[in-house]
Amino acid sequence: MNLSGLLPFVRQAPAYQRLARALEEGRLGDLFPEGDPSQGLGVITPARPYLAAALHQQANLPLIVLTTRAERVSQWTEQLRVWTGANRIYAFPEPDALPYERVPWSRETISDRILALTSLLRPGDEQAPVVVASARALMHKTLPVREFRQGLREYHRGQEIDLQRTVETWVAHGYRPEPVVDEPGTFSRRGGLVDVFPPNLVQPVRIELFGDEIDSLRIFDPTTQRTLEQIDRFVLAPASEALPRLAVQTSPRVAELDLSLCHPPARMEYQEDLAHLEQGLYFRGIAFYLPFFYSFPATLLDYLPAGGLTLVDDWDAFMATTVDMDRQAQALQADLIKAGELPTNFPAPYHTWDEVKASLLARPLLALGGRGQREEEGLLSQLFGYGERYGGQLKRVLDGFQEMRAAGRRLVVVSRQASRICELLEERGVAAPPLENVDEPPPSGSLALVRGTLAEGWKLHLEEEAPPVLDLLTDAEVFGWARPAPRRARRSRPTAPETFFADVQPGTYVVHVEHGIGLFRGLTKMGFDGSEREYLLVEYAAGDKLYVPVYQADRLSRYVGVSDHQPQVNRLGTAEWEQVKARTQRAVEEIAGELLSLYAAREVVEGHAFAADTLWQAELEASFPYIETDAQAQALDEIKADMEQGRPMDRLIIGDVGYGKTEVALRAAFKAVMDGKQVAILVPTTVLAQQHYQTFTERLSSFPVSVEVLSRFLTRKKQEDVVKKVADGGVDIVIGTHRLLSDDVQFKDLGLLIIDEEQRFGVGHKERLKQMRKEVDVLTLTATPIPRTLHMSLSGVRDMSTIDTPPDERLPVRTHVGEYDETLIRQAILRELDRGGQVYFVHNRVMGIYQMAQRVRKLVPEARVAVGHGQMAERELERVMLDFAAGKVDVLVCTSIIESGLDIPNANTLIVNRADHSGLAQLYQLRGRVGRGARRAYAYFLHPAMSTLSETARQRLATIAEASELGAGMRIAMRDLEIRGAGDLLGARQHGHIAAVGFDLYTRLLARAVQGARSQRPSSDGRGGGPAAEEAAAYVQPLESTVQINLPLAAYMPTDYVPDSNLRLQLYRRSASLATQQEVDDLEAELKDRFGPLPPEAENLFFLLQLKLHALRAEAKAIVIEEGQVVIRADSLEEVDRERLQRRLGDRGRVSRRAVWIPLDEEDRWRTSLIAALQAISESLS
């Protein structure tokens, strides 16, 4: 959305013209009493980004905008992009750590800060940058401009560089060598190719050298590692604010820290950091020592070029925030010293308000909201007014639009419901098709309807008392609520295409399709027939060794079994493995048959075919106060298509925690009600039932839909009333726990059953649900991630939809795993309370929970603390939960009762005590309770001393710490949850088979069994084919017998071509899994792009991959050397016209009953003949 066409209107105002002249002439002080710019312009809050954009566009000057907190920074950056239509708008983020906190900064924070600083130092000629920062971001000390400028390097084509010295310079400025460059601040060197990812660029650069000269510069995609475009030049900025090149000279100052009061673990950490500094090394926590690096550290303001301008959002609020943060930092410093975490003489890592104020007043400055100023005061106070509020009363809205246009006013309406407003206007004969942009000034009396989001509207007057020349309305004015602005797509941490295989490390258990479970020992080279080859070495029982050719690497997969089950390593050359595989094969064939029978039985049962969407359905969906993700929209389309068919629906919705499954369920429920049917929503806990009841009631309040809840929170009398109304048809939607499944609950006309987390119900309840599935449409929701391979295996026998995209405004939860520490608990709670938020404190034992609550009260006397657990009286628990939801409680000390579905957007800190006692699945679900809005959330998983933990608990906590990005559920699934997910779908009896052969092989066998069952019994509606079925077919390919290839070729990737052994292994795994010639060609092109021209050994490897594909199509069993000739052994030759094949080959080969013999000549002509022979055989077979 671009609204830059509205900026010229404010320039017509005399007061604005006076401001613009003073800015141009450098006389801003003349505009204010006593020349003090902190007096302010008197601009109302919603209009401030518009005014800032007008000044920026007119003068094209670098701009720094200062506001209070991170949430306001996000609002400013989004709105400035809307008003300027420009891309050079940057947020300068706060450090991840509070002052004095020893927490490493994230790569994203480091990169975004470097990017903002670079934009100001190199503003460019065309469009000046705008940088928006919060008070804390500005206060934090950073590197001086001179040091930053010294670290800037420009590279261009044709430039000569000393590569060794260049790489050393990068390391000195914070860059880290990595095998694959996929995140900012990293580089990789491979011969004459160097990849580097400067933090000031959106994507990394590949430098190709010819000798010492830069031959080409290419931007590449960090996800695919493929080139996107050629460039002529680029600028590389430092990768850290604490420069490793200055670390050695900094270390003596760090060595003077007084560690006498620090406890031993903290003392050891400081000593380890000091050792890194003395060696001049970069390390993750180096930013903690920023105060030591520079004698005169800078602030963001020091980077503003001459002629730039600083705007303060609100002077009083900014000053109060800065002073408050100084006070909090001093309190935190005292706490950390007292706890033995911080040396007593550690210098302040931030500038005080007095220092910041002096720096501000020394530069051109404007305060949009001034010191001690009322809104009606200030030079521009008469320009802007608040827009008319209509509160969703649509008749008043349309009448208001008509009056404004009749008065010749320009009306611009920005709404996510632009299409709905357009339809309402059309009914009154007004044509206003929704626009994406307004980049030209609209004429008087016009109405522009724009599809998009703004926080609030305003009206613009050119003179005091003059009628408005422009009215801007948003959803806040029209409908009475504001949608959160979509967050700008963040630079996600992509992963290179082969990373999926990265966890097959030496020492891990692997499964070979033919030989069973062994231990992977790594890559090894061996000579064969005079040629060197590389193999994957697997060790089996009794010291047996298996050497797997690299082109067969797809026959190995990492063993993933049932939780802590240690697999039994097989022996080579015994029947043991084949027997295990045969048992598993029978089991999967049985389950595939059962699933297909259920599926087929449902196909022939007559169900209710729901009608197409109504107008009310469209209205309900338009009122959703967020932006639907594509995955949500697709899931909903699939549900509606099922509901509109004449057979009962049974669809599973899989969605990560907080990805919007409830909204999808709500829309499905509304669709059923619109067709005169009742809906039952079954949830596992009373707390969740109450939560859903509130959500459904609020969202459906403007429609004649009756919603009730049935749970133990209700009195017996109230429960009886609800049961009676359900039977009489007086309730449209009833939400409840297993109480809904009681015999006394009878529906008048049930049409849809929605089950939330079915796996949490008992066996008896599941039997009842099984019966209901035959009669009504059923929608099941689960946050248990189902691995994609299992999803694919069940293609065509189970209807599943996956919601795998996080909502726009969500951020990953910052996760800390560490020992129980009361100083940390106090810090975490105060950090959350300071920003007006709330805290979950999980103590998962009712015994001792009240003592723990008392301890929290003692630690943080400022906080209002309450207790909630499942054994409380119903009324008391309900009151506590409602108080917490209403913001009357700051810290809820509770059991895991909050685990399922609870949604309180203001609760954004989670502390879990004794996290080592919880399963990984439960920890993941608990973490999903926070970070459900646009605000950054924090999760602290605390445990006793590490030495007391079991190995399993350590691994579990390490996994939850690693998997902190959005959508990490699927990664966790591959560690712990997948077995639970498999059990939910397939039944617990499959666990033994999964343990016996490993998850990967199990799902491949299942996919093959499903394909076999489907081929015998085709679906009545022809569903289940298409891309999913094709993907499943490719997935089972490694199960089929492979071809043995023994040719005198050195075929591998040399270590000087791909130096990193893990990366080589991953590439071998990828290459062995290729199923088409196009895929082989694509990988070959990728390697040439990433690593340079293929050496002969790699060319040979690609020839073998190509050969393997042709051999599989020709159904060949082996390609070997015998008697100086290449021999293709294939039983399939008996099925082809061998005489015709001989004529086609001529003198290039001799065809016999089950073999083709090709002369091994020296000109390598045999390669062409070999491929031609295989092609001829496969064509004859088809």
Per DSSP, 529 falls in state T
The percentage of the chain sitting over the pLDDT mark of 70, rounded to a whole number, equals 90
- Write out the CATH class of domain 1044-1181: alpha beta
Tell me the β-bridge partners of 444: none
Spatial neighbors of 940 by CB under 8 A, at least 6 apart, are 816, 818, 824, 825, 828, 909, 910, 911, 912
Instruction: Write the burial class of residue 1148 (CB in 10 Å: 0-12 exposed, 13-18 middle, 19+ buried).
Output: middle
Give the orientation angle of helix 686-699 with respect to helix 661-674, to 10 degrees.
60
CB 711 within 8 A of CB 691: no
Q: Which residue has the higher pLDDT, 760 or 825?
A: 825
Superfamily of domain 153-236: Penicillin-binding protein 1b domain (3.30.2060.10)
pLDDT score for 1061: 87
Q: Do the bridges between strand 1150-1151 and strand 1155-1159 make them parallel or antiparallel, or are there none, so unpaired?
A: antiparallel
pLDDT at 461 over 80: yes
Across-strand partners of 314?
A: 369
pLDDT-derived band at 918, boundaries 50, 70, 90? confident
Q: Which CATH code, of 3.40.50, 1.10.260, 3.30.1300, 3.30.1360, is assigned to 575-677+749-808+968-1038?
A: 3.40.50
Q: How far is CA 921 from CA 755, 803, 1040, in A?
A: 19, 18, 35
Sign for the pseudo-dihedral over CA of 491, 497, 500, 503: negative
Q: Mean pLDDT throughout 1016-1032?
A: 52
Cα distance between residue 46 and residue 853, in whole Å: 41
Which residues, other chains included, contact 947 with Cβ-Cβ below 8 Å and sequence gap of 6+?
Answer: none
3-state secondary structure of 176: strand
User: How many helices, marked H, and strands, marked E, lie in the chain?
Assistant: 38, 41
pLDDT at 1036 over 70: no
* Per-residue confidence (pLDDT) for residue 579, from 0 to 100: 93
DSSP state of 1172: H
**Mean pLDDT confidence for 1169-1182:** 88
Name the nearest CA neighbour of 816 among 108, 273, 103. 103
The whole-number pLDDT of residue 965 equals 57
CB 686 within 8 Å of CB 737: yes
For 932-949, the pLDDT digits (tens) are 776 788 999 999 887 777
Query: Which phi and psi (to 5°) does residue 533 adopt?
Result: -130, 160
Average predicted confidence (pLDDT) for the chain = 86
At 262-280, the pLDDT tens digits run 999 899 999 999 999 999 9
Distance of CA 706 to the CA centre of its chain: 37
Q: How would you label 756-783 residue by residue, b for 16+ Cβ within 10 Å and e otherwise?
A: bbbebbeeebeeebeebbeebbbbbbbb
pLDDT at position 858: 94
Residues 1114, 1179: contact at Cβ < 8 Å?
no
Residue 1002 has a pLDDT of: 85
Classify 814-965 by CATH class.
alpha beta
Bigger pLDDT: 124 vs 621: 621
pLDDT at position 1102 is 95
CA distance 67 to 72: 7
**For range 98-121, the mean pLDDT:** 92
Res 1090: pLDDT: 93
pLDDT of residue 823: 87
Beta strands in 704-850 (DSSP E): 707-710, 733-736, 750-756, 777-782, 799-803, 814-819, 838-843
Domain 4-145+277-369 in CATH 3.30.390.50: no
Torsion of CA 587, 593, 594, 596, to 10 degrees: 140
Condensed to tens digits (0 to 9), the pLDDT of residues 677-725 reads 999 999 988 888 888 998 899 888 878 899 999 987 788 899 999 999 9
pLDDT tens readout for residues 378-412: 889 889 999 888 877 778 888 999 899 888 889 99
State mean pLDDT over 337-362.
94
pLDDT in tens, 1117-1130: 999 999 889 999 99
The CA R_g of the chain, rounded to the nearest whole Å, is 34
pLDDT level of residue 486 (50, 70, 90 thresholds)? very low
At 982, list the tokens. 């498999």
The pTM score is: 0.79
Q: What's the mean pLDDT in 566-592? A: 89
Residue 112 one-letter amino acid: D
What pairs with residue 814 in β-bridges?
938
Token pair in block for residue 456: 């609030």
Look at residue 123 and tell me whether its pLDDT is greater than 90.
no
Q: In what order do the strands lie in the sheet with 447-451?
A: 384-385, 458-460, 470-474, 410-415, 447-451
974 DSSP assignment: I
Task: Tell me the average pLDDT across 350-362.
Answer: 94
Q: 1112: part of which helix (H) or strand (E)? A: helix 1096-1113
Retrieve residue 1141's tokens.
């094949």
Name the architecture of domain 386-478. 3-Layer(aba) Sandwich (3.40)
CA atoms within 13 A on the CB side of 1040: 16
Under DSSP, is residue 653 helix (H, G, I), strand (E, B) or coil?
Answer: strand
Residue with the two structure tokens 């929704």: 434
**791 falls in which pLDDT band (50, 70, 90)?**
low
Total Cβ atoms within 10 A of residue 612:
9
What's the rounded mean pLDDT across residues 34-58? 91
Q: How far apart are CA 300 and CA 292, in angstroms?
A: 18
Distance set, CA 354 to CA 322, 351, 863, 1039, 1146 (Å): 10, 8, 30, 71, 92
- Cβ contact 928:899 at 8 Å: no
> Which residues lie closer than 8 Å to 226 by C-beta, 6 or more apart?
220, 1085, 1086, 1089, 1090
Give the span between the Cα atoms of 472 and 18, in whole angstroms.
24
CA–CA separation, 1030 and 1040 (whole Å): 16
**Alpha helix locations (H) across 124-246?**
135-139, 145-151, 163-172
Q: What average pLDDT score do residues 218-222 get? A: 95
Tell me: the pLDDT tens digits for 536-558? 999 999 999 999 999 888 888 88
| Residue 1026 in this model has a pLDDT that exceeds 60 | no
Residue type, 281: L
What's the pLDDT at 872? 87
Helix 353-361, helix 315-338: angle, nearest 10: 150
Q: Per residue in 837-860, pLDDT tens? A: 999 999 988 999 999 999 999 999
The closest of 901, 816, 897, 829 to 865, measured between CA atoms, is: 829
Q: Which residue has the higher pLDDT, 867 or 922?
A: 867
Q: What are the pLDDT digits (tens) for 723-741?
A: 999 999 999 999 998 889 8
- Per-residue pLDDT at 492 exceeds 50: no
Mean pLDDT, range 751-770, rounded to an integer: 79
Q: Give residue for tokens 């022939």.
A: 604
Q: How far apart are CA 273 and CA 265, in angstroms?
A: 13
Do 575-677+749-808+968-1038 and 4-145+277-369 fall under one CATH topology? yes
- Cα→Cα distances 379→24, 63, 64, Å: 17, 20, 21
- The CB density around residue 1172, as the number of other CB atoms within 10 Å, is 17
Q: Where are the domains of the chain?
A: 4-145+277-369, 153-236, 386-478, 575-677+749-808+968-1038, 814-965, 1044-1181
pLDDT band at 1135 (very low <50, low <70, confident <90, very high): confident
Amino acid identity of 226?
R
Give the number of other CB atoms < 10 A from CB of residue 574: 14
